[in-house]
A and B are shown apart, each in its own frame.
Chain A
Amino acid sequence: GDQVEQSPSALSLHEGTDSALRCNFTTTMRSVQWFRQNSRGSLISLFYLASGTKENGRLKSAFDSKERRYSTLHIRDAQLEDSGTYFCAAGSGGSNYKLTFGKGTLLTVTP
């Protein structure tokens, strides 16, 4: 099975609402990185976490520091420009550092 499972696979939000995306790992991971891909295909790094939480504007991400088996991305007061596909990627750590990506959450924010 997939090492990184994202949910939901698609999400529709009205402007001004809040929601959360989730990323589950089948094994303990060293770190997690969240990305947003826009309609042109560009991938933008949102957060890198090795533990705890980080916040940037209306986005907040958390990484379960205990078991290191899941991460969340919270979107507050969703705006139209938040639309896109959100990917989480788990870092394996060590000298051969690789990211394993989830399949993404397609977020559509509507007026």
Chain B
Amino acid sequence: EAAVTQSPRNKVTVTGGNVTLSCRQTNSHNYMYWYRQDTGHGLRLIHYSYGAGNLQIGDVPDGYKATRTTQEDFFLLLELASPSQTSLYFCASRDQDTQYFGPGTRLLVL
């Protein structure tokens, strides 16, 4: 079973704050993803990557940057956090067929 971990699990920041969410997977999967989950929207794709140094834009990228530093590590950056970015954030990695999700990070932007 793939192991995907996220940190922090909970984060509170203020409007305009700088936040970095971290994701690590230990199964050498090529693809990694960042999603946000909001009531009424399901999960929406922010950014994804198919390897170290690669970044692909997802469906709701505005206000987010991401960086894939290694095969294992994928970071989501909010450089000027806004209340609209209050959400539950999931990271996932993918083998050939299946996406495996981390436990999620709850972010509150005041």
Name A residues whose Cβ lies closer than 8 Å to a Cβ of B. 31, 33, 35, 41-43, 45, 48, 50, 87, 89, 95-104
Decide: B99 and A33 in contact? CB cutoff 8 A: yes
User: From DSSP, what is the main secondary structure of chain B's interface residues?
Assistant: strand
Number of interface residues of B (CB under 8 A): 25
Name B residues whose Cβ lies closer than 8 Å to a Cβ of A. 31, 33, 35, 40-45, 48, 50, 56, 58-59, 88, 90, 94, 97-101, 103-104, 106
List chain A residues, Cβ under 8 A from B94.
Answer: 97
Decide: B103 and A48 in contact? CB cutoff 8 A: no
Tell me the bound Cα distance from A43 to B43 in angstroms. 11
Decide: A45 and B98 in contact? CB cutoff 8 A: yes
Most buried by B among A95, A98, A100: A98
Partner of B103, one of A42, A97, A99: A42
Tell me the bound Cα distance from A99 to B94 in angstroms. 11
Decide: A41 and B88 in contact? CB cutoff 8 A: yes
- The list of the 3 closest CB pairs from A to B, nearest first, reads A43-B101, A101-B42, A101-B43
Decide: B42 and A42 in contact? CB cutoff 8 A: no
Partner of B104, one of A41, A96, A102: A41
